[in-house]
Structure 1
């Protein structure tokens, strides 16, 4: 299968790798794909898990430039992209991942998001939907776990967006509009995961899991979100959940009405 996994990171996040790796191995022990850890910046190979392939291509100039350098070092044509603070919480069903990959290739797709967040609006079958790129729906290029056609992802990276800009803007550039019918999303999560860092700080739940599974901490100086920070985050997520009820095609119209930028 012409597919590899890329964990996108950078050298300063070296203390996250063993945590992410622990849950990856716990819940996907027989992953059949090569797993690459992209981490530009200072050489931190000694912290890279032994069964991951370490990619360090020099200075971490920008997120997009580093991503491009990682992708160009991977021979596979399709990439299953993870961020470095995603931990897998349930066993992965390999058959479903295989079927998702085969669907993307058979439909000449450029991206298949493996969690319906956001959901696609164009029904194809009980397992897959198409994302309505033509109507400029929000977060077409969300950085949730997805399978990407590598050559297409490299094209999007030329704009040198940071990760937040990429999620909002990359789905509206010329290359995406030309491939408007090639973005897909699953109707249910194929990989159950959670991110455990926000603004450089641990969520409290990961501290509990680290203790429960006796995972060694590489850097004990990383802070944990405090109560006030968590309340602000939960309020923000509550708003996002309420906003998710609105049909995708109408979300940016509503934002425009209230004088907010397009997503």
Structure 2
């Protein structure tokens, strides 16, 4: 089992930037309401704005040249040798089981993994046991960052300056094929409210946060014009992930294109 002081080897990084600082208070409130005993030092990545909450450390990356360059500048400030990534618009909505979380961290450390994602989206394509599966070197979104452990040196080798987050998921996945020991859980671990898409509040997510008593100090616009449109898009996302799990890794790209065409036909006329 992992000793308590080994948690010091891992940094939890909340991926963000100055332009999303309006979400920080809500993120921090929901995070500590549901995970007050998080065992890691917590950092938020920003450009020039510093987080005022003393429970969070800020990694300042300077002017926003591009997504990957900013992320590299932030990570290179860390002494920890492992990384665990979170997103600033992933609002925890249920208590985190620290015992179960530690078991997953143990699996990452004891098996000397390069990567462990706690979100099976899509699911791992090589069976390992009831809790974990391996991601083959052909698996799509193999480097998806949210809710994932990384060896820092491996991450920095795969990260390429000049890329956006979307480009990293596509191109970084290809670069990751040179590395083994990429794993995922078989069941999603965290329960979250996904708050923002394309820079705008998801209508139902904003409503849930307000109903849970959180004060939202943000002037972002709503993403959907009406609730029916939102329900259709959410349904398409759920169907896409279930559909992907029916296909081998080599064929999943066609499934993603298929659902992308449906979405464009319905909403981008």
Bin for the TM-score computed over the shorter chain: 0.7 to 0.9
Aligned counterpart in structure 2 of residue 54 of structure 1, from 53, 58, 74? 58
Q: Does the alignment pair 1:216 with 2:215?
A: yes
Provide runs of 4+ in structure 1 moved above 6 Å: none
Deviation at 1:82, TM superposition (A): 0.6
Partner of 2:196: 197
Partner of 2:3: none
CA contact (8 A) 1:142 1:167 kept: yes
Partner of 2:266: none
Q: Map 1:34-45 onto structure 2 (within 5 A).
A: 34-40=41-47, 43-45=48-50
CA contact (8 A) 1:7 1:36 kept: yes
CA distance in structure 2 between the aligned counterparts of 1:65 and 1:256, rounded to whole angstroms: 28
Deviation at 1:165, TM superposition (A): 1.5
TM-score of the superposition, structure 2-length normalised?
A: 0.84
CA contact (8 A) 2:83 2:152 kept: yes
Deviation at 1:147, TM superposition (A): 0.8
Partner of 1:183: 182
Partner of 1:14: 21
CA distance in structure 2 between the aligned counterparts of 1:78 and 1:161, rounded to whole angstroms: 22
CA distance in structure 2 between the aligned counterparts of 1:128 and 1:238, rounded to whole angstroms: 21
CA distance in structure 2 between the aligned counterparts of 1:239 and 1:206, rounded to whole angstroms: 19
CA distance in structure 1 between the aligned counterparts of 2:178 and 2:40, rounded to whole angstroms: 30
CA deviations 1:35-75 (Å, max 9, x no partner) are 001111xx322x54221001112111111011111111121
Q: Sort the Cα spacing of 1:109 and 1:218 in 2 relative to 1 into closer, same or farther, 3 A.
A: same
Deviation at 1:243, TM superposition (A): 2.7
Q: Sort the Cα spacing of 1:153 and 1:185 in 2 relative to 1 into closer, same or farther, 3 A.
A: same
CA contact (8 A) 2:119 2:185 kept: yes
CA distance in structure 2 between the aligned counterparts of 1:143 and 1:30, rounded to whole angstroms: 22
Partner of 1:139: 141
Partner SS, residue 16 of structure 2: strand
CA contact (8 A) 2:92 2:193 kept: yes
CA distance in structure 1 between the aligned counterparts of 2:206 and 2:128, rounded to whole angstroms: 41
Q: Map 1:27-106 onto structure 2 (within 5 A).
A: 27-40=34-47, 43-45=48-50, 47-106=51-110
| Two-structure CA RMSD over aligned residues (Å) | 2.4
Deviation at 1:200, TM superposition (A): 0.7
TM-score of the superposition, structure 1-length normalised?
A: 0.86
Deviation at 1:127, TM superposition (A): 1.4
Gaps of 5+ in 2: 1-6, 261-269
CA contact (8 A) 1:93 1:190 kept: no
Partner SS, residue 37 of structure 1: strand
Partner SS, residue 87 of structure 1: strand
CA distance in structure 2 between the aligned counterparts of 1:203 and 1:209, rounded to whole angstroms: 10
Aligned counterpart in structure 1 of residue 118 of structure 2, from 108, 114, 117? 114
Q: Sort the Cα spacing of 1:207 and 1:231 in 2 relative to 1 into closer, same or farther, 3 A.
A: closer
Partner of 2:4: none
CA deviations 1:19-44 (Å, max 9, x no partner) are 1111101110111211001111xx32
CA deviations 1:194-216 (Å, max 9, x no partner) are 32101111112233234334433
Partner of 1:167: 169
Partner SS, residue 193 of structure 2: strand
CA contact (8 A) 2:10 2:81 kept: yes
